[in-house]
Amino acid sequence: MVFSLVKPPQSRSRLLVWVEWGAVVLLVGGVAGYLLWKPLDPMGDQQAAQALALVQTHPARSAPSVRQAIDLIMKANHTADRSPSIGDWTVRRDERAHERNNYRVGVVVRLPGNQKNRWIEWEYLWLVRLSPPTVIPMSRPAVEIMP
């Protein structure tokens, strides 16, 4: 009697092999598609980055810049049991404008309300023209912090 440590190869179903290779192709294709359509650098558009910088560094009524004014609002509304939150800054090309150098910049701030389970959301929204550099508030909260 001879014992073999190597097992004889078992044949797998052809259908199973095709399904496995199909999954690999879909995974690789999905990653490649994501990288092609969504750039790795969200601020890859230099004009969008410039529009965001114009808003964040624009002078505010109660602080040296809009970004600092929003940070002060966040600190003023912080309580021991609930803290405010700020969303991501968004920059989108203004599709309604005929000029290509107009952008809409916005951020959403969520503040605690008077009751335990109530929250207030403020949307700050600005229209930015790059030439000449102009920042125009488009929402009431944005108007309140602008000079």
pLDDT digit string (tens) for 71-83? 999 999 888 888 8
Residue 144's contacts (CB-CB under 8 Å, 6 or more residues apart) are 61
Inside any domain, residue 8: no
Residue 22 shares a structural domain with residue 57: no
Give pLDDT, residue 110: 94
Residue 32 shares a structural domain with residue 70: no
Per the structure, how many domains does the chain have? Answer: 2
* Domain coverage including residue 28: 13-42
Residues of the chain with pLDDT under 50: none
Residue 90 shares a structural domain with residue 125: yes
Q: Using a cut of 0.75, tell me whether the model's pTM lies above it.
A: no
How far is it, in rounded angstroms, from Cα 116 to Cα 80? Answer: 12
Inside any domain, residue 72: yes
Residue 89 shares a structural domain with residue 22: no
